[in-house]
Amino acid sequence: MRYNEKELQALSRQPAELAAELGMRGPKKGSVVKRRLVKLVVNFLFYFRTDEAEPVGALLLEHCRVAQEEPSGFSISFIEDPERKYHFECYSEEQCQEWMGALRRASYEFMRRSLIFYRNEIQKMTGKDPLEQFGISEEARFQLSGVKA
Amino acid sequence: MKLNERSLAFYATCDAPVDNAGFLYKKGGRHAAYHRRWFVLRGNMLFYFEDVASREPVGVIILEGCTVELVEAAEEFTFAVRFAEARARTYVLAAESQAAMEGWVKALSRASFDYLRLVVRELEQQLAAMRAGGCPPPPRRPRALLPKENGCAVWSAEPPAASTGTSTGARSGPERPPLPPRRRASAPNGPLDSASFLQLHEWYGQEVRALRSQWLRSRAQP
């Protein structure tokens, strides 16, 4: 699949929501743990060799599942292949929880559901649609009907 | 750079409702021909397929840090998706009608994750303020607008070659606000917090409103 790689590289250089050096193990059987600089930017997780400026790779974090693996590790897998897991090792349980929380909130779909939730809550409290003042209340992507139960 | 392409393809073709879809002509390269492709916008990803029934996308345009502009070209209803990154490719696309073009420009300029996050944060703050007691403060009128980030729909009649991206200071139209500076991404607790969302949205929306009323006026004429 073609994609705008230069833009993705530029994105990887933007300030991150979270960044840390973690142990990372790929999904292939027999892969070993490697130290990687892991950076969360919008809905992408970039991973770099610790001394390089360009990322080795990126994971788009849509329809992914973040699960705790050991005392201080977690894994990311994707809905179309749940057994294929990217493993990450943190230095503490606290860091692990921080990453898991951030990754779960990092998808566009999560943001969209949050928006619909807040919109609904505010509408219930005030009787007014808070999106109206922004001129986006009619957008199909923010309608309650679009959200699966 | 490795990318989880299988997951990307799944995201492109899964059952969830899309944010926009339709045929667009995509220019192959600077002097290349246009190819008709089926485009699907989902989140901040603009996928394109050979055809509407194709099972996997030919490619994807990641829409963070882009601006969307009208361009004047031999082809009607043309617009461009441009990135602040100097080496990134500009995508020139053409719709099949005025309405389709407007719909796409609007959708694409608000497609970024950053924009959505802004809206969510603003609503979050409003709700917190309301729960803390009392009505939310009325939206402040924009004063010193701090142009930031991506997601600006700019209506430009200049061809792509003549446009100088973000430095179009010497142009006609005194009411036109300056284009934003080269993209600076937002940090979670960074400078964006100091400019209210409404200020930013007002700024982004000005150009759209100006051109829209222009277009409506031109339609009203016989």
pLDDT digits (tens, 9 = 90+) for A108-137: 999 999 999 999 999 999 999 999 888 888
Distances, alpha carbon A64 to alpha carbons A84, A94, B154, in Å: 11, 21, 35
Domains of chain A, residue spans: 5-106, 110-148
pLDDT digits (tens, 9 = 90+) for B170-189: 444 344 555 555 444 444 44
At the top level of CATH, the class of A5-106 is mainly beta
**If pLDDT is split at 50, 70 and 90, which confidence band does B31 have?**
confident
Q: Which residues of A touch B2 (CB under 8 A)?
A: 56-58
Report the candidate in B138, B17, B162 with the shortest Cα–Cα distance to residue A148. B17
Q: Which residues of A touch B7 (CB under 8 A)?
A: 59-60, 62-64, 78, 80
| Alpha-carbon dihedral sign for residues B52, A61, B28, B66 | positive
In the stretch 74-93 of chain B, residues with CB closer than 8 A to chain A read 83-85, 87-89, 91
Is pLDDT larger for residue B158 or for residue A125?
A125
**If pLDDT is split at 50, 70 and 90, which confidence band does B45 have?**
very high
The answer to whether B136 touches B129, Cβ cutoff 8 Å, is yes
Neighbours of A132 (CB within 10 A): 11
Q: Which residues of chain A have pLDDT under 50?
A: 147-149
- What ipTM was assigned to the predicted interfaces of this complex? 0.91
Which pLDDT value is given to residue B131?
A: 84
Are B5 and A140 inside 8 Å of each other by CB? no
Which pLDDT value is given to residue B32?
A: 84
Number of A/B CB contacts below 8 angstroms equals 159
The answer to whether B38 touches B18, Cβ cutoff 8 Å, is no
Report the candidate in B39, B41, B37, B19 with the shortest Cα–Cα distance to residue B27. B37
Q: Between helices B98-109 and B197-220, what is the axis angle to 10°?
A: 170
The pTM (predicted TM-score) of the whole model is 0.74
Which pLDDT value is given to residue B54?
A: 93
Q: Of B97-111, B121-135, B161-175, which gets the smallest average pLDDT?
A: B161-175
Query: What Rg do the C-alpha atoms of chain B give, in angstroms?
Result: 19
Which pLDDT value is given to residue B177?
A: 58
**Longest pairwise C-alpha distance within chain B:** 60
Which pLDDT value is given to residue B176?
A: 52
Are A114 and B120 inside 8 Å of each other by CB? yes
